[in-house]
Structure 1
């Protein structure tokens, strides 16, 4: 049942934080309460309007990860527009490769937080891809070079020795 699937997803560490919206024909109050208490983030009873479902998905994303619900994320002088696949620094275009774009997007969702190479590999490259951990260093270097082009001394990527990397947008 959907309740059992939800329960199992919440028990597994790798799927514990996956947003869950139950779509069901069971509309009794006790069913809705049971679904939400099991771990669903929302509960929608059939029939439903697609526009309502889309609004509920946006609401869940806003609550769980505010940075994912917006097309444009701004941190300090940096702006990342997901829909246009565009990055600017103080209004000037910055050209990034696809991996550097995903890396910056991930950092901008979590400013100030330090991530190890392994965490960055999982978040940006995916857990089912085999890539050397040192590959992260190469892409961090490319990202730094692109972000500082035309702005000597601007380096928002902080290296934390023996720990990893973080985005510090307040540093100039």
Structure 2
């Protein structure tokens, strides 16, 4: 058996709380509402959804999304996160991205609420 056959590939769809990310289709939803995110923002969301409730540093986001050779400031990460917060807000104005002062950000997707 080859090494490639033993390797586990990431699942094409990630579900985290009420958020869904389709890596193949490059689309994301909050519940039934599709989120109009850029490719860069989808990559940031993927990082968050793979590590819910964990603190993720700006440096990690920057190197993962822009690449380690890119000359980008931490401000670029903050701008993307700010735009994502606006897009990802629910009807009450809540968003799932929390700033961890001096450390980075944490994705707190909440729980799926079912009505019945």
| In the alignment, structure 1 residue 126 sits paired with structure 2 residue 67 | yes
| In the alignment, structure 1 residue 79 sits paired with structure 2 residue 79 | no
- Higher radius of gyration, 1 or 2: 1
CA offsets 1:97-126 (integer angstroms, 9 cap, x no match): 111111101111111111111111011111
Gaps of 5+ in 1: 1-42, 46-52, 63-68
What secondary structure is seen at the aligned counterpart in 2 of 1:61?
Answer: coil
CA offsets 1:30-64 (integer angstroms, 9 cap, x no match): xxxxxxxxxxxxx629xxxxxxx5xx2xx5235xx
Higher helix share: 1
1:32-71 alignment, distance < 5 Å: 44=2, 53=4, 56=5, 59-61=6-8, 69-71=10-12
> For residue 38 of structure 2, what is the aligned residue in structure 1?
97
> For residue 102 of structure 2, what is the aligned residue in structure 1?
162
Task: Tell me how many residue pairs correspond in the alignment.
Answer: 112
- TM-aligned CA deviation for residue 154 of structure 1: 2.2
| In the alignment, structure 1 residue 110 sits paired with structure 2 residue 31 | no
Aligned partners of 1:166 and 1:91: how far apart in 2? 23
> For residue 77 of structure 2, what is the aligned residue in structure 1?
136
RMSD of aligned alpha carbons: 2.0
What secondary structure is seen at the aligned counterpart in 2 of 1:153?
Answer: coil
Scaled by the length of structure 2, the TM-score of the pair is 0.86
Aligned partners of 2:106 and 2:15: how far apart in 1? 16
Aligned partners of 1:171 and 1:121: how far apart in 2? 28
What secondary structure is seen at the aligned counterpart in 1 of 2:8?
Answer: helix
- TM-aligned CA deviation for residue 152 of structure 1: 2.7
Aligned partners of 2:106 and 2:99: how far apart in 1? 7
- TM-aligned CA deviation for residue 171 of structure 1: 7.1
Structure number with higher relative contact order (C-alpha < 8 Å, ≥ 6 residues apart): 2
